[in-house]
Amino acid sequence: MKTVCLYFQVHQPWRLKTYRFFHIGKDHNYLDDLTNRAIMQKIARECYLPMNALLLKLIKENKGAFRVSFSLTGTVVEQFKAYAPEVLDSFRALVETGCVELLAETYSHSLAALSSKEDFKEQVKKHTAMLKAEFGVKPKAFRNTELIYSDEIGEAVGELGFKTMLAEGAKHILGWKSPDFVYAGAADQSLRLLLRNYKLSDDIAFRFSNQGWDEYPLTADKYAAWLSESEGEVINLFMDYETFGEHQKASTGIFDFVKNLPAAILKRGDLKFATVSETAAEHQPVAVLHCPHVMSWADEERDITAWLGNDLQNEAFGKLYAMKDKVRSLKSKDFEYVWNFMQTSDHFYYMATKWLSDGDVHSYFNPYGSSYEAFINYMNVLSDFQIEVEKALAAKKSSRSKK
């Protein structure tokens, strides 16, 4: 009996407004509220609400046999609360079925794991607290931003008490081994690793509507047959939730595909669904996975060059995290709020200078005309934020001296 582990990432960044040099020192509202509202409500209509309703129906119809896992970033939950509270209610309804597991990750969908262990753990604890407050759950499994993983990051995740972590089934790490088994972390061998089968995942996420694909059209029965033919014990299908209705529009037939998928899989007799933690508990690790260098699920290289691959990105990243101690010392909710959304990985992704097929993907999701434009806009906002932090620190120091 092979296990099908279906996991969806739900994330939207807080998008920055066009922020010019002459705004610095004068305008401290950094977000594009109209765009953030419009995009959230559009994706809620096209993806979140119809897909959540469909999954709830499938869970009820299959009486517990259909099971899925999600992670929802802190920034997307903030936007649900601000612009689409009915979406948050629909996710709560899914969790209440007992067939849906919520995973922990970084609160802001940040690159904190690449800054320091302290920054990383702070972000994860903030996210875990949010899941408890909004959904009443304590997560047992972890998924890092963009599936960023290394032995060192796995060790930090184990120290936080998680038993299972998701990672990419990258060929340069696996070599001849298959992603379709459970592995153990190298630094912490009690940590179970579930690796994404990127071919089968991307067949849905990227190739589903491609009429030039030699397997087009993809039907539920055809896909279930591919899963059954897998030689491993687990098939980890990890993808962005916005695949359904947003990246793959309803007109492509993606919702009909999902509607028919559980029955097509379950009727075969050799496949079953399980959540992330259930999958890790049911299968023993077949080997230790050594990953001395950081990997992710992005681009052909499966590395971190999508976010920290050029001088612009590294300068912005360095300047941001150089501020962390000063921001923390203020102990201000307002400053913490800005600090959190400025860490979101999307800001660095917009600054990427990758070309060919990878560059096409980057430009598709990029609201800026160029990587340099994205960098300048971000750095202008960060410069104003830095000035305000210094002012607040000076005022705090002055207040103490008067006492």
Tens digit of each residue's pLDDT (9 = 90 or more) over 171-190:
999 999 999 999 999 999 99
Q: How confident is the model at residue 402 (pLDDT cuts 50, 70, 90)?
A: confident
Instruction: Read off the pLDDT band of 365 (50, 70, 90).
Output: low
pLDDT at position 390: 97
Query: Does 46 qualify as catalytic in the annotation?
Result: no
Q: What angle do CA 237, 242, 246 make, to 5 degrees?
A: 130
What's the mean pLDDT in 199-221?
97
pLDDT at 81 over 50: yes
Q: Per-residue pLDDT tens for 127-178? A: 999 999 999 999 999 999 999 999 999 999 999 999 999 999 999 999 999 9
Q: What is the mean pLDDT of the chain?
A: 95
Residue with tokens 């969790």: 95
The number of residues making up the chain comes to 403
Cα 288 to Cα 174: distance, rounded to the nearest angstrom:
10
Look at residues 279, 269, 99 and name the one whose alpha carbon lies nearest to residue 180.
279
| pLDDT score of 363 more than 70 | no
pLDDT tens-place string over residues 226-273: 999 998 999 999 999 999 999 999 999 999 999 999 999 999 999 999
Interval 332-354 mean pLDDT: 94
Q: Enter the tokens of residue 255.
A: 């919702």
**Mean pLDDT throughout 281-304?**
93
CA 30 distance to own-chain centroid? 23
Q: Which of 78, 146, 168, 246 is catalytic?
A: 146
pLDDT at 366 over 90: no
| pLDDT exceeds 50 at position 109 | yes
pTM of the model: 0.95
In this predicted structure, the answer to whether residue 9 has a pLDDT above a threshold of 80 is yes
In the sheet that 182-185 helps form, which strands lie side by side, from edge to edge? Answer: 141-142, 164-168, 192-196, 182-185, 288-289
Give the span between the Cα atoms of 36 and 24, in whole angstroms: 22
